[in-house]
Amino acid sequence: MLELGQRARKAAKAIREASAQARSAALAAMGRHIRQARTDILAANARDMVRGQAEGLSASMLDRLKLDPDRVEVMARGVEEVGSQKDLLGEIMQDWRRPNGLHLQRVRIPIGVIGIIYESRPNVTADAGALCLRAGNCAILRGGSDAMESSIEITKALRLGLAKAGLPEDAIQLVETTDRAGVGAMLTGLQGAIDMIIPRGGKDLVARVQAEARVPVLSHLEGICHTYVHVGADPAKALALVVNAKMRRTGICGATETLLIDAEIAPDLLPLLCASLSEHGCEMRGDTAACAIVPMTPATEEDWRAEYLAPILSIGVVAGPDAAMAHIARYGSGHTDCIVTEDTDVAERFLREVDSAIVLVNASTQFADGGEFGFGGEIGIGTGRLHARGPVGAEGLTTYKYVVRGTGQVRP
- Closer Cβ to a second copy, 59 or 236, answer by number: 236
| Partners of 203 in beta bridges | none
- Closer Cβ to a second copy, 67 or 243, answer by number: 243
The reply on whether position 352 binds a second copy by CB under 8 A is yes
| Partners of 196 in beta bridges | 114
**Largest Cα–Cα distance of the chain, in whole Å?**
78
The reply on whether position 10 binds a second copy by CB under 8 A is no
CA 336 from chain centre, in angstroms, equals 12
CA pair distance 231, 321, nearest whole angstrom: 9
∠ at Cα 338 (336, 339), nearest 5°?
Answer: 160
The reply on whether position 399 binds a second copy by CB under 8 A is yes
Report in angstroms how near the CB of residue 249 gets to a second copy at its nearest. 9
The reply on whether position 279 binds a second copy by CB under 8 A is no
The reply on whether position 386 binds a second copy by CB under 8 A is yes
The reply on whether position 374 binds a second copy by CB under 8 A is yes
Phi and psi at 91, nearest 5°, equal -55, 135
The reply on whether position 330 binds a second copy by CB under 8 A is no
Helix (H) / strand (E) element for 391: namely: strand 390-391
For residue 223, which of 321, 117, 379, 365 has the smallest C-alpha distance?
365
The reply on whether position 276 binds a second copy by CB under 8 A is no
> In 127-139, which positions are buried (b, 16+ CB within 10 angstroms) versus exposed (e)?
bbbbbbbbbbbbb
Report in angstroms how near the CB of residue 164 gets to a second copy at its nearest. 25
DSSP codes, 159-225: HHHHHHTT--GGGEEE-----HHHHHHHHTTTTTT-SEEEEES-HHHHHHHHHH-SS-B-------E
- Closer Cβ to a second copy, 184 or 298, answer by number: 184
- Closer Cβ to a second copy, 145 or 210, answer by number: 210
Q: Which of 15, 141, 196, 270 binds a second copy (CB under 8 A)?
A: 196
Q: Which of 34, 65, 76, 360 binds a second copy (CB under 8 A)?
A: 360
For residue 147, count other CB atoms closer than 10 A to its CB.
Answer: 28
The reply on whether position 180 binds a second copy by CB under 8 A is no
Report in angstroms how near the CB of residue 191 gets to a second copy at its nearest. 15
Q: Which of 109, 130, 148, 269 binds a second copy (CB under 8 A)?
A: 109
Q: Which of 234, 283, 307, 343 binds a second copy (CB under 8 A)?
A: 234
Report in angstroms how near the CB of residue 81 gets to a second copy at its nearest. 15
Amino acid letter, 185? A
The reply on whether position 265 binds a second copy by CB under 8 A is no
The reply on whether position 373 binds a second copy by CB under 8 A is yes
Q: Which of 72, 198, 241, 296 binds a second copy (CB under 8 A)?
A: 241
Contacts of 215 (CB under 8 A, 6+ apart): 115, 187, 188, 189, 194, 195, 196, 197
Q: Which of 54, 59, 181, 211 binds a second copy (CB under 8 A)?
A: 211
Q: With contacts defined by CB under 8 A, how many residues of the chain interact with a second copy?
A: 67
Q: Do 290 and 266 meet the contact criterion of CB atoms below 8 Å apart?
A: yes
Helix (H) / strand (E) element for 92: namely: strand 92-97
Report in angstroms how near the CB of residue 370 gets to a second copy at its nearest. 11
The reply on whether position 256 binds a second copy by CB under 8 A is no
Residue 394 CA: distances (Å) to CA of 54, 272, 335, 375, 408: 38, 42, 19, 8, 37
Sheet containing 196-200: which strands, arranged edge to edge? 172-174, 138-142, 113-118, 196-200
The reply on whether position 95 binds a second copy by CB under 8 A is no
For residue 19, count other CB atoms closer than 10 A to its CB.
Answer: 13
Q: Which of 54, 58, 96, 330 binds a second copy (CB under 8 A)?
A: 96
CA pair distance 214, 263, nearest whole angstrom: 48
| Site mask for a second copy (CB under 8 A), range 24-63, x = bound | ----------------------------------------
* Interacting residues toward a second copy by CB under 8 A: 13, 16-17, 90, 96, 98, 102, 104, 109, 111-112, 195-196, 210-211, 214, 216, 234, 236-237, 240-241, 243-245, 248, 329, 347, 351-353, 355-364, 366-367, 369, 372-374, 384-387, 389-391, 399-411
